[in-house]
Amino acid sequence: MSSAEAQAAVREDLRRGHRSGRLAHAWIVEGDPHREGGDLARWMARLVLCAREDGPCGVCRDCRTVESWTHPDLHRVVPEGKSRQITVEAMRVTAKELYLTSFSGGWKALAVLEADRMGIQACNAFLKTLEEPPPRTLILLVAADPSQMIATIRSRCQTARAGRPPLPDGPWREVVLEVAREGAPASVLDALRASHRLAAVLDEAQKTAVREIKAETADEDLEDDEINARAATRMVAVREALLETLLAWQRDVLVLASGGPAELLGFPDQAETLSAQAARLGRDGAIRAVNAVETMATAFRRNLKQPGAFEAGFLSLIAT
């Protein structure tokens, strides 16, 4: 299933849920709030606010004002101030607003963008609303990485995944494959070199994202902090793709090292290089390599800085 098809299926499920009156009232929308996550959140808001019964139509006044975040029954909360936190005060005010009658007399929606920037106090201020929401209210917590949200919030929400953001073409895929083709590092120096090459790719991705966001939001006059935070979200998408590519490679090595058939390979055109690496590592070594990539991913999730996280992984791979 392509990601566009997957996204169409997600939306069809939501549409069916709404038509049958079984749409959950609280959702975590997983995706970049300023790209695909924000798009899905607005689509969900249109689902309940669209003037047409078989909506969202995308063309009525309700749909159009949701698109520009100006619909009177669509509330939006975003991080504020230098610390870029969602404040307790903002969540309290919003909770009160949600209990008021909507302008149209129908549905209301709330979108919290960068919901992972709600501190404990803001979360606590909002828990009661999540538990006893006003009728006909759709709550959308949009976050690129919902795992950063506290469990008491997450456990009260359904999750809607906004699918993959478009990845920048950039040099990242080529560099990852080059590093992968070199195989397990022979020395500490090799390990450091490999990890620095990947870290440099991510630095570059961050810089590219800053340039893109500046161009996209030229008329919004965003603060540098805001631009950097948005760029970091895009960079994380590249990082995840990079780690997935690396993991797919190591899985191929493991397939061959375990005597599996070439039909199972994700990189069939690299079969020769993969076979050589499989022969050198053996099955145990290939398992170690898969684990090393997973260790890198875990290290990143614990907020270890690159290149530290890459180094830990590559150092553990040095051929013994």
Binding site for Zn ion (CB under 5 A): 50, 55, 57, 60, 63
Please state, in angstroms and rounded to a whole number, the distance separating the CA atoms of residues 82 and 226: 9
**Which residue number, 61 or 305, has a Cβ lying nearer to Zn ion?**
61
Q: Which is nearer to Zn ion, 74 or 153 (CB)?
A: 74
Angular region, 134: left φ>0, alpha ψ -120 to 50, beta rest? beta
Residues near 59 by Cβ (< 8 Å), separated by ≥ 6?
A: none
Smallest distance, Å, CB 29 to Zn ion? Answer: 19
Q: Which residues contact 21 (CB under 8 A, 6 or more apart)?
A: none
Q: Tell the smallest beta-carbon distance from residue 311 to Zn ion (Å).
A: 52
Nearer to Zn ion, 45 or 194 (CB): 45
Q: Least CB distance from residue 40 to Zn ion, whole Å? A: 16
Q: Which is nearer to Zn ion, 55 or 133 (CB)?
A: 55
- Residue whose CB is less far from Zn ion, 99 or 103: 103
Quick one: 45 or 110, whose CB is closer to Zn ion?
45
CB of 164 to Zn ion, least distance (A): 26
Q: How far is the CB of 27 from Zn ion (least distance, A)?
A: 20
Whether 172 contacts 235, CB under 8 Å? no
Q: How far is the CB of 69 from Zn ion (least distance, A)?
A: 15
Nearest CA to 232 among 136, 131, 105, 116? 116
